[in-house]
Every structure is written in C-alpha cells, then in structure tokens.
Amino acid sequence: MEILLEEGLQNIAPFLGNLEWMYIISFIILCYAWQRIESKIEWDFIKKIKKRFQVAILGLFYAPVYYLLWGLDKTQIGSLLTSFLVSFAFHKLLVDVIIGAIKAKIRLFAVNKIKGGNDE
C-alpha cells in the first residue's frame, strides 16, 4: 500500500506543479463573478445557455487573454490548456472551497474590527 501511495504521489506532484495556479484561481473567481452578474441580467439568450457551457466559453476567451497578459511562451500553452481542463472540471468544487475560504477570512476580519481586536 505504501508503495502505491508513493508511486501515486511521484506521478501527481509533477502534474500539480506544472499547472498554472494563477490562471486556475483567477478563472474560478471570474466564473463566480460571472454567475453573480448573469443571475441579475435579463438577456434570454444567455439564460438559455447551460452554466457548464457558459463556463467553458468564458474559459476559452480568458485563456488567450491570460496568455498575452502574463507573457507566457509557447512551451507553456500545454500547461495552460491542462489548467483550463482542471479548472473546468473542478470549478464548482473549487469555487465552493476558495470562495468559502475568502468569505471566512473576510468575516473573521470584520468580527475582529467590530470587537476592536487587532488585524492578525
């Protein structure tokens, strides 16, 4: 069992290390913001598109922008594509985890301010 776990970690660690984590996190935040905005707009044609397709379209438009803004080279396109696929596959789970963590930090900060605590 230890050998299988060690083999798995040896294969997964390089995969996770090659992902564009800045892209994944910013894409997740962008999707979260889009879903908040999309729920308030009244365009029927957007409401007819399923959420997963909206996320895919958003990711396909965001990836080239990210590529150009961060000055990635051609060798990193595969990593960016893999990062898109990972974030597309797990965006709902990651949104819940990341946004939940951010909200918890904001609430903790607000409670400390209200109680007159320090900023630690």
**Domain boundaries along the sequence of the chain:** 19-115
Higher pLDDT, 91 or 59: 59
Predicted local distance difference test score (pLDDT) of residue 2: 64
**How far apart are alpha carbons 69 and 100 in whole angstroms?**
28
Task: Note the pTM of the prediction, 2 decimals.
Answer: 0.66
- Cβ contacts of 82 within 8 Å, gap of 6 or more: 18, 19
66 with 2: CB under 8 angstroms? no
What pLDDT is attached to residue 17? Answer: 79
Number of other CB atoms surrounding residue 62 within 10 Å: 19
pLDDT at 42 over 60: yes
Write out pLDDT tens, residues 67-118: 888 888 888 888 888 888 888 777 777 667 777 777 788 877 777 777 765 5
Distance separating alpha carbons of residues 73 and 80, to the nearest angstrom: 11
